[in-house]
Structures are given as structure tokens and as C-alpha cells.
Chains A and B, each alone.
Chain A
């Protein structure tokens, strides 16, 4: 089930290429390891998404008429060397800069998965320190990622027509409130 770091970098570059084609906003960033100076690649996307106000029970809205409010979302997809799998960190803020609470992040999970998450929420999504910035981010627990890769039948030796990173991300996207364009599903892996 494990994905090598090199595979991750290839799949991330492929995802970024498709994102560029449809102007979806994913960027490849580099982090320099403070220990040995090596460069680590990861994907970042920042986007304002409209979220259902009733789920946020929020006072952070001027217009009482609207049932959706804008939420600033930032997603990071990293490689996790401990679990040998992709790892997703994200933050969500109101437009006044205040961070959403963990309870609100749980309530934004897509309705068809919400039961599972609520049942085991402290093992699903929690707040943790981002390994690069050392600042708080929400995170889907990495053992869920290895589980998803396993369900998708991922093996590092197989050759894929599809990009396993995209398959993984589209599987977990309803958990983290990430909207993904359907065209990601039509493309074949170029390599």
C-alpha cells in the first residue's frame, strides 16, 4: 500500500498539470528541510468556497439573507515519510481572519460521510501542527489515507492508467470540504 516519495512527486506534478489546464489553482511548493537543506515538494491550493451557514451556526456574516457564507480554505498535500502515503493538512477561516473551530470543521463533512466521522471524530479529523510551518492545521488522520489507498487497490509496483493521488484525493475530498472538478476523473496518467 505504501507510496514512495518519488512516486508522490510524479503524481503531484501530474495533478498540477491538469489543474493548470482547467485553472484549478493547485501549486507545487518547496520546503527546505532545516536539517540537511534538502528540498521537499508539496501541493498547495487556496480558495474561497461558499459553505452552508446553518452548519457553522456563525455570527460571522453581515447579510442575514444569504444561506451560504464565504470561507477561506487552504489545502496542503504532503508526503508523509512515516506512513509512506500522502497527507492532507487544511485550514479554514472566516473572511475576518478567524479560524473555524474543530467542531465546525466536523460539521462541514459531507452528509453522506458525516455519520462515520461523528462516530469516531477524534480519530478522523483533528488539529495538529503542520510539519513545515509548525503552525496549527486541521488534518485527516494518516491511517485513514493508507486505508483509502488500500481500498483503491494501490500497490507501488502496479502501473496505473489513472493517477492514484487524484483517486485518493477525490475519495477523501468530501471529508475536508474540497470541491474537485469532474474532469480529474477523465484523464489518464501521462508518463
Chain B
């Protein structure tokens, strides 16, 4: 189980300053809307923190388009709301150079790119996406034996803990999902891999321990999965992770709230 609670708190509190601006083409009327500034939790999801952003900009777009679904874009790339905010930001890190802060994001209402983004008509779509990730992570870690035996109100604790930014509420249930069931390891480690500069996610079955019983480190894992890369840097939560870190420890302490590690390979 995750013992280093200091790290859990530190990552939970990670925030990014964002400057939202309405796309110039979509400004309706003569008055240009002011940009909207917000500190957003890295661990959260854009649809959960953008109610105020929508309220601020919606009156500046064509009345016929005000009912349309708001979506976000950076450098002409639509931002996939189903990924945690911190992951979306880290994906734009190229050659150690992180995107300047505040992160300048463009807001759109028109021309929703339905071939690239999931629709997000209501909170339930975010909840369903998040819970289904948690379920899959538990399938990988414990053959689904923890999540499926939890009660509905326990599942709700996880979701409302995220929604209301309540660390204790979330972790009172999440700690059960972070306990290794056999010995000191999970069966598999839930990881989403990304290459920086691309939003393509790949996933593979990852074991935390080698056949001869030694824990597997991040460096060994990357060498195995990306044999052609020469000493790549691995980022998560905006932090470059030392290669000797055991991936079991990372899974327990550095997973996003959906219980997956989201690793950006640079």
C-alpha cells in the first residue's frame, strides 16, 4: 500500500495556471472577451473545472452556437478531455522544454472535431470514462477482485472525492485499490504510454517483477518496450523520473486518480 503519503499529497496538489482565450473567428459582436485565468489541478479533467470558463465566453459567441459543446485546443491540436489535465500538458514537452506558463488554451464552441474528441454532453460521460478506467486498472492489478466487491457508495466516494477535490475522501477508498494482493506486487501495472508531441496512447501488459523475482525498474521497462530509444527521459506529473525507480512503487504512488500511470516518453 502507498506509504509515502507526502508524495500523494504533493501530486494531488499539483496545479497548472491556464489562460483561456476564445478563438478569434468565433467572437460575435464588437467587444473582445477578456482572457480567463484559472489554476487547474493536474489530476483533474477539463470538463470538471471549466464551468466558469464556459459561462465567461458563451455570451461572446453567436447566439445560435451557444448551445454547442465547448471544446479546447492548443497549437491546433484538440485537447482530449478524457486524459487528465497534467497528461495533456506534459504531452507538449519537447526536448526538456515545457510549455510556457500560463498555458494559453483556445476555447471553441463551433466545429466540434467529432473524429478526434469524445463527446462530453454531461458529467456522466466523464464519470463513466473515469470509473471504467479505474475498473480496468483493478482488473490489471487484482483481476478485478477489489473494485467489483466495493459497494456503490464506495465507488461514489472515489468519484466525489475527485469532483470536490477531497483528498481524504478519495484516498479512504483508493488505498484499498492500491494494496498488492499477492505478496508485495500487483499482478500487472496499469500504464498508459505516450510519446511527447503526439497524443497517441499505447498500452501493454506490464509485470512489476521479473521471472527471477527482482522488481522491475522504470529504465528496464522502457528498454523492453522501446528498444530503439537511446536513454529517453520519462515524465509524469511534470517530473522527470529516475530510471532506477521500481515500477511497483511508481504505480502505488504516482498513478493518476484513474489508477493508471501516465508516462510521457521524451
Contact = CB atoms under 8 A, between A and B. Distances in A.
Interface of A: 33-36, 81-83, 98-99, 101-102, 122-123, 126-129, 131, 134-136, 141-143
Contact of B119 (A101, A131, A134, A142): A101
29 contacts: A33-B202, A33-B204, A34-B202, A35-B193, A35-B204, A81-B204, A82-B140, A82-B203, A98-B114, A99-B115, A101-B119, A101-B121, A102-B125, A122-B125, A123-B128, A123-B132, A126-B129, A126-B132, A127-B118, A127-B125, A128-B82, A128-B129, A129-B82, A131-B201, A131-B202, A134-B199, A135-B116, A136-B114, A142-B136
A135 B225 contact: no
Contacts of A99: 114-115
B262 to A, nearest CB: 13
B115 A135 contact: yes
Given A81-B205, A102-B125, 16 more contacts: A35-B225, A36-B204, A82-B136, A82-B139, A82-B140, A82-B190, A101-B121, A126-B125, A126-B129, A128-B82, A129-B80, A131-B201, A136-B116, A136-B118, A141-B132, A143-B135
Interface of B: 80, 82, 114-119, 121, 124-125, 127-129, 132, 135-136, 139-140, 144, 188, 190, 193, 195, 199-205, 225-227
B116 A122 contact: no
Contacts of A101: 119, 121
A102 B118 CA distance: 10
A123 B136 CA distance: 13
A136 B117 contact: yes
B124 A122 contact: yes
Contacts of B136: 82-83, 142
Contacts of B125: 102, 122, 126-127
Nearest to B188: A82
Contacts of B200: 34, 134
The 4 A-B pairs with the shortest beta carbon distances in the complex, nearest first, are A122-B128, A35-B225, A127-B118, A136-B118
Contacts of B199: 134
A35 B116 CA distance: 22
B191 to A, nearest CB: 11
Nearest to B80: A129
B148 to A, nearest CB: 8
Contact of B202 (A35, A82, A102): A35
A141 B139 CA distance: 13
A129 B225 contact: no
A131 B203 contact: yes
B230 to A, nearest CB: 16
Nearest to A139: B132
Contacts of A136: 114-119
Nearest to B226: A35
A129 B201 contact: yes
A102 B119 CA distance: 8
